[in-house]
Chains A and B, each alone.
Chain A
Amino acid sequence: MRRPAFPRTVRLLALLGSRRARWYVVSVLVLALAAGTGFLVRAAQLTSSDAARNAALTDRAATSRASGEVGDALSRVFSYTPEGLARTEQAADKLLAGKAARQYDTLFAQVTKRAREQKLTLATRVVDVGVTRLRGDRAELLVFLDQTTSREGHEPTHAAAQLSVTAHRDHGDWRIVAMKAR
């Protein structure tokens, strides 16, 4: 198999040995090197781009888990009854962290007093959740909430709330670390 192919190889090599051919070879080398580098850079850009690293919607399971847990957390920490204030606070301890936890503590101190005095009940329901970014243990979401405040002897009032939420995954569970009203 090798022998019949050999004379042809020799002729090819002879061709390559000539000076003019060498220029062609060098040009092809340079071109191929440039093209190869270009392809490689473009491929790296594609695979390591911001879009590629953001798993929001591309990883359906992770996206729905993050939006489910964050939505659940919000409806729990923003729902209370005059008798169940301690339960809400316990839930907040578990579901909030960092700046969000500090903000919430300040807010909740004011709420506790009013809720007891005026017999307030707050119910929060998640209307819609969208994940904007999901990268490793960090997620950013936009959440639409409906809040119903009931006061004893009064008609309940409804209000809309929109939050941009940053969540962090701790030991597999999503915790809210920052919230911003929109």
Chain B
Amino acid sequence: MSTDVQGRADTGPDPAGEDPGADGAAVGGAVADEAATGGSAAGEAAADEEAAGTPGGEATGAPQRPRGAAWPAGALLVVLLFCAVSAWLYWSAHTDDDLAYARARDQALAAGRTHLATLNSIDAKHIAAGLREWREATTGPLREQLRRDENKSADTLEERGTSARARVTDAALTGLDDTAGTAELIATVRITTTTRSGAPAADRKRMAAGLERTDDGWKLTSLAPVPVGEERG
């Protein structure tokens, strides 16, 4: 197959008029072909002509070959090759470790930002729903802790009647282990609290959090404010 294509490539650029015999055969071939198919598009006929010129290149001793078949074979080969090369490029990009690591980093950071805002927010009117959201944003030890304290937290929040809305103003990953599926994150949070009496107050906090990859995306495993005057590991 490849030798045929080679032959075609060799004879292809030759001007049609150089070998009158081959040219005649080509025209005949095209006409015959057209008759057989009941007339085809002009482009196709032209392509047939070009392809039919092929046998001229290796006519000596070679068995007679059907005309008008080399071009689809060649085009097919070229396009399949193109498809294979781009598939390989895609696959190597998809499985590239650095790229996968970068993707994990961005996913962990995005999830961390969202969950951090969730865990620092509560709507006094929908405390049960808020606590459920807290639990859904976490996994491992933090989730356990939240589950243990849920009733107590609900009571306290109910009693206080304060709503809080948190916005993560900046966040960065300080560590990421892609294979273990763990990450550490630091973030600054701006929390607006509204008491029952109505006066809102804004507070800024800096926090450190741990993340773990679960089947449901990255979740928080720890969350703590970073106090002043304390060395962190």
Tell me whether A144 and B186 are in contact (CB under 8 A): yes
* Contact across chains for B186 and A182 when beta carbons are under 8 A apart: no
Residue with the highest number of chain A CB atoms closer than 10 Å, among B102, B106, B109, B186: B102
Nearest chain A CB to B39 CB, angstrom units: 11
Minimum distance in angstroms from A136 CB to a CB of chain B: 15
Residues of chain B in range 168-187 having any CB-CB distance to chain A below 8 Å: 169-176, 185-187
Tell me the B79-100 residues at the A interface (CB within 8 Å).
Answer: 79-80, 82-87, 89-90, 92-94, 96, 98-99
* Chain B residues whose CB sits within 8 angstroms of the CB of A86 once the complex forms: none
* A111, CB-defined interface residue at 8 Å: no
Q: Is A17 at the interface (CB under 8 A from chain B)?
A: yes
Across the interface, do B176 and A162 meet the contact criterion of CB distance under 8 Å? no
- B211 touches A (CB below 8 Å): no
Instruction: Kindly specify which of B69-77, B115-123, B137-145, B146-154 makes contact with the partner chain.
Output: B69-77
Give chain A residues whose Cβ lies under 8 Å from the Cβ of B230: 127
Which one of A29, A39, A54 lies within 8 Å of B87 (CB-CB)?
A39
State the total of A-B contacts with C-beta under 8 angstroms.
162
Q: A10-B66, A182-B188 are in contact. Are A33 and B173 (CB under 8 A)?
A: no
Minimum CB–CB distance for B76 against chain A, Å: 6
The tally of residues in A whose CB lies under 8 Å from a CB in B reads 53
Interface string of A17-29 (1 = CB under 8 A from B): 1010110011011
Contact A33 B228 (CB under 8 A): no
Which A residues between 18 and 69 are near B, CB-CB below 8 angstroms? 19, 21-22, 25-26, 28-29, 32-33, 35-37, 39-40, 42-43, 46-47, 50-52, 54, 56-58
Docked-complex contact A130 and B185, CB < 8 angstroms: yes
Taken together as a complex, chains A and B put the C-alpha atoms of A142 and B186 apart, in Å, by: 8
Q: Can you list 15 residue pairs at the A/B interface with Cβ under 8 Å?
A: A13-B66, A17-B68, A19-B36, A19-B37, A40-B86, A40-B90, A42-B93, A52-B99, A128-B232, A130-B172, A132-B170, A132-B171, A144-B206, A159-B228, A162-B170
